[in-house]
């Protein structure tokens, strides 16, 4: 499946065996996905050739930033050994609350000229001094008629955390062929019916992302420095229980649903997820207020925190549209490539981000 968030220059991204590797550095684990482009019944498709995850010690990646590079490098080395990955070129996912994504229409001119003109466009939009920022333009379609220019997105992020992440990966003997926004990667691997306007919500341990897209073209991108770990910590605190018990209660009871019913734990969890839910609602309202002709039609949830019982139902009720947890493997042809091995383990190792990073270059 090909989404329009696909401005990646494929040259140099594909390893000599034809695989593209997506690498996601999350707060809880490093995860890699090896995909290969192919044809299925005459249409382009991608197949999976390797997946793996290695847990990270707490404090190694904090709100998307690599805060203990040594631990991250060691985990990546271990990941390559355990998942038996041979390739060295990777597409690295970047997630940070400081990423800025804005609508931008550029004059219809060659890519090189667009790149040269970007700093002037970015100056008014981002708070950072330009020499401390990385800026990119992601076109969302061809130039409009009568010189209306190329519609797209301006993406800006602080340079330093990206360099720290790249260095941690390179110290593990790998080469970063490209960095890509984790939020775009999550969109690529989870987006459903291309005719619908959909809100993709990735709920991680410390960071959550919201991407509202129309037929694969992102309209709103928000990165929120809140995740599911805060629910565990809050529940341990308010429910006076050990963290392990709070984590287990969060996973079995969650915000409460028809099967788990209501309880004091469900009430506390509901209270604790409220700030994140209101950020998500704010993004939806922002989009719907300016796109009354094409309101959000469904919500797709991904990330570890999305599995909380009752959460999808509660979002569906709040937003008045269907909401469900989606598998990042849904667009992969040989989803159960490890069958005979550990199919469920393979699926669990896959994150929407690692799969989507590789898809961006492989599709
Ligand atoms: N079954 C489950 N039910 C509820 N929460 C869960 C479940 N499984 C994992 N989680 C929670 O999901 C979070 C981890 O999600 P994920 O693996 O997507 O994060 P990450 O990518 O490592 O971190 P981040 O994206 O924030 O850097 C943890 O807070 C964990 O408690
Ligand atoms: Mg994550």
State the chain's mean pLDDT as an integer. Answer: 88
On whether the pTM is more than 0.85, the answer is yes
CATH architecture of 193-325: 2-Layer Sandwich (3.30)
Phi, psi of 201 (to 5 degrees): -120, 120
Distance 148 CA to ligand 2 centre (A): 37
Query: Over the stretch 68-98, which tens digit does the pLDDT of each residue have?
Result: 999 999 999 999 999 999 999 999 999 988 8
Q: What average pLDDT does range 182-203 have in this prediction? A: 89
Q: What is the chain's Cα-based Rg?
A: 20
Distance 159 CA to ligand 1 centre (A): 26
- The domain spans of the chain are 1-97+159-192+327-363, 193-325
**pLDDT value of residue 237:** 97
Cα angle 285, 291, 296 (rounded to 5 degrees) comes to 60
**CB-ligand 1 contact for 250 (6 Å cutoff):** yes
Query: Over the stretch 221-257, which tens digit does the pLDDT of each residue have?
Result: 999 999 999 999 999 999 999 999 999 999 999 998 7
Q: Say if residue 123's pLDDT is above 90.
A: no
User: Which is the closest atom of ligand 1 to the Cα of 231?
Assistant: 29
Q: What average pLDDT does range 166-182 have in this prediction? A: 96
Query: Over the stretch 29-41, which tens digit does the pLDDT of each residue have?
Result: 999 999 988 777 7
Phi, psi of 324 (to 5 degrees): -150, 155
Same fold, 1-97+159-192+327-363 and 193-325: yes
Distance 22 CA to ligand 2 centre (A): 13
Of 38 and 322, the structure prediction assigns the larger pLDDT to: 322
Give the model's confidence band at 335: pLDDT under 50 very low, under 70 low, under 90 confident, else very high: low
Ligand 1 site-directed mutation target among 57, 181, 203, 228, most atoms within 8 Å of CB: 228
Cα–Cα distance for residue pair 156/151, rounded to 1 Å: 17
Residues forming a β-bridge with 264 = none
Q: Say if residue 110's pLDDT is above 90.
A: no
Cα–Cα distance for residue pair 138/115, rounded to 1 Å: 11
- Closest ligand to C-alpha of residue 356 is 2
Going by their DSSP bridges, the two strands 61-62 and 65-66 should be labelled as antiparallel
Residue 248's nearest CA partner among 267, 227, 262, 269 is 269
Phi, psi of 133 (to 5 degrees): -120, 150
- The CATH T-level fold of domain 1-97+159-192+327-363 is Nucleotidyltransferase; domain 5 (3.30.420)
Inter-residue contact 108 to 120 (CB < 8 Å): no
Q: What average pLDDT does range 317-339 have in this prediction? A: 81
**CB-ligand 1 contact for 302 (6 Å cutoff):** no
Of 315 and 341, the structure prediction assigns the larger pLDDT to: 315
Residues forming a β-bridge with 325 = 301
């Amino acid at each position: 499946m090909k989404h329009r968030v696909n401005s990646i220059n494929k040259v140099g991204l594909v390893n000599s065996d034809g695989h593209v590797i997506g690498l996601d550095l999350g707060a809880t684990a490093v995860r890699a996905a090896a995909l290969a482009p192919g044809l299925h019944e005459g249409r382009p498709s991608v197949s999976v050739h390797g997946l793996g995850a290695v847990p990270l010690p707490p404090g190694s990646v904090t709100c998307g930033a690599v805060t203990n590079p040594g631990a991250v490098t060691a985990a990546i080395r271990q990941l390559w050994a355990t998942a038996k990955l041979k390739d060295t070129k990777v597409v690295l996912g970047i997630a940070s609350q400081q990423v800025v994504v804005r609508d931008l229409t550029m004059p219809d001119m060659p890519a090189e000229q667009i790149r040269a003109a970007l700093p002037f466009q970015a100056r008014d939009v981002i708070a950072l001094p330009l020499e401390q920022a990385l800026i990119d333009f992601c076109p969302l379609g061809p130039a409009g008629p009568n010189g209306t220019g190329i519609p797209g997105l301006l993406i800006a992020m602080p340079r330093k955390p990206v360099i720290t992440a790249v260095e941690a990966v390179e110290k593990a003997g790998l080469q970063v062929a490209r960095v890509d926004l984790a939020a775009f990667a999550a969109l690529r691997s989870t987006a459903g019916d291309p005719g619908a306007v959909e809100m993709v919500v990735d709920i991680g341990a410390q960071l959550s992302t919201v991407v509202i897209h129309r037929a694969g073209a992102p309209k709103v991108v928000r990165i929120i420095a809140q995740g599911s770990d805060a629910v565990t910590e809050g529940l341990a605190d308010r429910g006076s229980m050990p963290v392990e018990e709070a984590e287990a209660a969060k996973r079995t009871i969650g915000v409460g649903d028809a099967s788990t019913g209501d309880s004091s734990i469900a009430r506390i969890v509901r209270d604790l997820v409220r700030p994140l839910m209101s950020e998500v609602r704010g993004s939806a309202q922002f989009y719907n207020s300016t796109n009354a002709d094409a309101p959000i039609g469904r919500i797709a949830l991904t990330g570890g925190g999305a599995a909380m019982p009752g959460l999808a139902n509660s979002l569906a009720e709040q937003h008045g549209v269907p909401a469900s947890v989606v598998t990042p493997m849904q667009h992969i042809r040989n989803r159960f490539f490890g069958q005979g091995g550990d199919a469920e383990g393979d699926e669990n190792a896959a994150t929407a981000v690692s799969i989507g990073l590789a898809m961006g270059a492989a599709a």
